[in-house]
Structure 1
Amino acid sequence: MTAGEISRNFGQWQDVALSGPVIVTHHGRPRVVMISAEHYAAAGFEEGPVGYDNDSALQTAETARSAILGHMNEAFVALDPDLRITAVNAVFEDLKGASASQLVGAAWNEVFNAPAQALIGEQFRRVLRTGETLEFESESTVQPGRSFGVRVFPYPGGVAALFVNRTEERDLRARLDRAAALEAALAVLPDLATARLNIRGVLAGMDADFLRLTGFSEPELRDCRLSDIVRPAERRGLTMAVERALQGEAPSRLPVTLLVKDGAERTVELSLATIRRDGIPDGVLVAFAA
């Protein structure tokens, strides 16, 4: 609970503490634990547990901390109150292009250039003052073109930060924004229809314009191959184009004659592009222009 809650209802939480520790938070972070005298004594905090080896426990804790830092994907750096580096992990070494022995003991403004150290250094000082955790994004000045998410938080002996490469995430957001804008623009163009083929080359999705173009309803076309509604003489060429798209080849275009409902024919030009999932072809997007 928060400090305010325990102040208002101290008696209630005192009773709760008789059965187990009560954790008091500040801005969502654990700060104080209230524990009953009975549990305190039973845990052996007064004299230490029987057979307790303080040096061994410290060594185990340090080994565990090193193991955690060594297996993190994020770049980690810890600094003292004067913003001198006290610890880094291997990812931070790779990020900076320097070894831990070269980095530990160096001042923050000696490790990063002025624009980066001014921004991040101010966040370090703010966390030191307030004890809060901060998150923000920063362009990399070490590796141009990259963007990093930075999480700064209190750490024993000072402050620490985690750097996460957000470049792909940022680029993906930009591509999604462009795709949304393109979709909105295409939606108002006349005589343009789209359909989606799954990995088997079967119609799996159709927009309203495609249904109007063919005259069929979606239930009538679902699970049909696109070649089923194309003039027989053109089916082989279309099938080969779809197969190339399913293999991940470059987008292609070709004219086809659709066999629309009621036996009519309609000549259109279509383009095919590969749909990928996790980089692997997962279907084909087909656009039709009358």
Structure 2
Amino acid sequence: MQAVTASDLVRHFGAWRDRAMNTPVYIHHHGKPKLVLTSVDFIDALSAAKAPGGTNDAAMATLLEMIDASVVVTDQALMVNGTNALARQRIGRADWQGLPLADIVPEAVRPFLLRAADVTLASGQVERLHLRLGDHGERKVDVAIYPFQDGVCIIGRDQTAPQALALAQAHARIVDEMLGLIGTTAWVRMNPRGYVTDVSSAFEAMTGLPPEACRHVRLPTLFDPATHAFVDAALDRAIDSMANGITSARLLTSSVRAVPVRVAISGKLLRMSEDAVIATISLDAAALPTSS
């Protein structure tokens, strides 16, 4: 499930509108989902699937494929009568149609999921499970079971990657806070053309420049003209070879004096994300004046 706060939606409506064309975006207010932003095609498919007189099989198939999660639909006997592509990948078999739900559920979680499905059938209430799958429970999956027509609709969302990303981002924030306290090392994030997209709080403290003044300029612009070319060459090498490079330079600040620094630039993230170049900037202690 994609989720966004109402304020972030207003600030970046174009980006979230584009995402909503592929999968519904849940709009949160005070931490709770209140509205859904989605495409007309999705709503039309949903309306057709629920139209009086029975389910439109084509509309149902379209609806299932538009959901960015694993979806399994059953009848009141918990026999499978609908899936989407993500669910079929997880099931790993082509003959799922008409099988008992128990036959396609991993054995380790089968009792819990079947019991929850029975509760939903009997009560009409939504049941939610937080499951761990894989040989060592390495995959974390959130499951919601909804009453649907005379059976249930089971939606499973793999939370392994989002949770890993959230943890990595938390680690990055902590490291940034520590660097900010030290005040001698900062990081800068750039796009593949070398234009700054983000800077750390330590960079702001080091230069006295607000982040807004640094974004959307090419990294070498942040250095004095005498060392501009060194940074430019190191940046080009990092982007072209997706390797690491280091050079000395003088960093511009809000004061008159430029600060001597060491600049390390890595393009390795381009191999994985295709959208990020990272530079670390450290004060060059050997070049700084010492107190008498």
TM-score (norm 1): 0.59
Local SS of the residue matching 1:280: coil
Q: Structure 1 242/167 Cα, relative in aligned 2: closer, same or farther at 3 Å?
A: same
Q: Does 1:159 align with 2:139?
A: no
Bigger CA radius of gyration:
1
Equivalent positions of 1:62-211 (< 5 A) are 62-70=57-65, 72-82=67-77, 84-91=78-85, 92-100=87-95, 102=96, 104-108=98-102, 110-141=103-134, 145-195=138-188, 201=194, 210=203
Residue aligning to 1:24: none
> How many Å separate the matches in 2 of 1:77 and 1:99?
14
- C-alpha contact 2:180 2:202 (8 A) present in aligned 1: no
Q: Structure 1 129/212 Cα, relative in aligned 2: closer, same or farther at 3 Å?
A: closer
Using the aligned pairs only, state the percent identity: 14
Q: Structure 1 264/286 Cα, relative in aligned 2: closer, same or farther at 3 Å?
A: same
- C-alpha contact 1:227 1:238 (8 A) present in aligned 2: no
Please, which runs of 5 or more residues in structure 1 have no aligned partner? 1-56
- C-alpha contact 1:206 1:218 (8 A) present in aligned 2: no
Residue aligning to 1:281: 275
Local SS of the residue matching 1:168: helix
Q: Structure 1 187/70 Cα, relative in aligned 2: closer, same or farther at 3 Å?
A: closer
Please, which runs of 5 or more residues in structure 2 have no aligned partner? 1-51, 285-292
How far 1:237 moved relative to its partner? 2.9
Local SS of the residue matching 1:236: helix
Residue aligning to 1:250: 243
TM-score (norm 2): 0.59
Q: Structure 1 127/103 Cα, relative in aligned 2: closer, same or farther at 3 Å?
A: same
Q: Structure 1 157/286 Cα, relative in aligned 2: closer, same or farther at 3 Å?
A: same
RMSD over equivalenced CA pairs, Å? 4.1
Matched positions, count: 228
How far 1:127 moved relative to its partner? 1.4
> How many Å separate the matches in 2 of 1:107 and 1:151?
15
Deviations 1:241-268 (A, max 9, x none): 1223445723433333457788767543
How far 1:58 moved relative to its partner? 5.3
Residue aligning to 1:229: 223
Deviations 1:163-206 (A, max 9, x none): 23333322222221221222222222242244555666466766
How far 1:64 moved relative to its partner? 2.7
AA aligned to 1:104 is G
> How many Å separate the matches in 1 of 2:186 and 2:250?
15
AA aligned to 1:172 is L
180-189 or 134-143, larger mean C-alpha shift? 134-143
